[in-house]
Amino acid sequence: VSSYVGTLGTHTEIKRVAEEKVTLPCHHQLGLPEKDTLDIEWLLTDNEGNQKVVITYSSRHVYSNLTEEQKGRVAFASNFLAGDASLQIEPLKPSDEGRYSCKVKNSGRYVWSHVVLKVLVRPSKPKCELEGELTEGSDVTLQCESASGTKPIVYYWQRLREKEGEDERLPPKSRIDYSNPGRVLLHNLTMSSSGLYQCTAGNEAGKESCVVRVTVRYVQSIGMIAGAVTGMVAGALLIFLLVWLLIRRKDKERYEEEERPNEIREDAEAPKARLVKPSSSSSGSQSSRSGSSSTRSTANSASRSQRTLSTEAAPQPGLATHTYSLVGPEGRGSEPKKVHHATLTKAEPHPA
């Protein structure tokens, strides 16, 4: 708080932080002789030059011309009739900033008091950001900025000590961007550059800070991680392919087992006949007659299957004639049975 006394009264400059309480001084002795003629008036001239009446005492009444933002926060601080016409504002807001004038009048005498009020706003909590690749040998930029606060705002970067013996100073090859104090460049990172970094934004009203962690990684470790990930993906694909091939093979075998009984092969060989050689000519003749009779009775049912057999049984020139007949059921009157496997009987030729 600074003040001085001039020809127009007392001049005071006050700085207060937003959300705090402030009392603007105004003292007089004009109210003691005649209280009924005492007038007190507070005026505010804002930073744009606009002037308005804040509060007035006249004819034993208090009149206020407060805005919605000022209501409940602006009032006389003490007994203005006893000589203390100070103005109190609580809590302070940035809009309260300006030049206040206190005019006291009584019986033709005047007393003026002027107060310049500056409301300081603490920096908002800054936001710490990191730009760049956290690998050994690369460069990283640390950025810190507060969205609001009374200018100027000063930024300060430091390294927090997490273990005993760690240095709180920035790495040796760090550079501060003086055109933008909230930026600092960490050049040529090493493993020792890893740690916790803090940015502090401050002004006349106070300070706020934020932190960011820097973790430097080896380039080789990144390659190993990438190789491990690639290997895992390749292994998973290989396992999937093997499982798929196994399922396909099982499905194929199951399909072949289901379709095998229903197959009809046109090129399959006919069943081979079992040849029986008779012991005597009489039995051969009887078998031949019986076979012929049986063949005629079953011609319609087994014509296709016996066609091949009849062709094979035909005598060839120059060879002894052999008679082949089907061994069928005995008796001519019985219905012929279906022949599953034909049985052929070879008869001896009769002596000429």
Note if the bond before 25 is cis, omega within 30 degrees: no
**C-alpha to C-alpha distance for 212 and 219, rounded to whole angstroms:** 22
Question: What is Dmax (Cα atoms) for the chain?
Answer: 185
Q: List, in sequence order, every residue forming a beta bridge with 105; answer none if it has no partner.
A: 39, 110
Question: Which of 213, 230, 214 has the alpha carbon at shortest distance from 222?
Answer: 230
Tell me the whole-structure pTM to 2 decimals: 0.54
Cβ atoms of residues 350 and 283 within 8 Å: no
DSSP-assigned states of every residue in 156-221: EEEEE--STT---SPPTTEEE-TTSTTEEEE-S--GGG-EEEEEEEE-SS-EEEEEEEE--B-HHH
8 A C-beta contact, residue 22 and residue 117: yes
Rounded to whole angstroms, the Cα distance separating 129 from 197 reads 11
C-beta neighbour count of 22 within 10 angstroms: 20
Q: What domains are there in the chain, each with its CATH number?
A: 12-120 (2.60.40.10), 127-214 (2.60.40.10)
Q: What is the pLDDT along the chain (352 residues), one digit of tens a residue?
A: 444 444 356 788 999 999 999 999 998 887 655 667 889 999 999 888 899 999 999 888 888 878 888 888 999 998 888 888 999 999 999 999 999 999 998 877 888 999 999 999 999 999 999 998 888 888 999 999 999 999 999 999 999 988 776 777 888 888 888 888 899 999 888 888 889 999 999 999 999 999 999 999 887 555 566 667 788 888 888 898 888 888 888 888 777 777 666 555 555 555 555 544 444 444 344 433 344 434 344 434 444 444 443 444 444 444 444 444 444 444 444 444 444 444 444 444 455 3
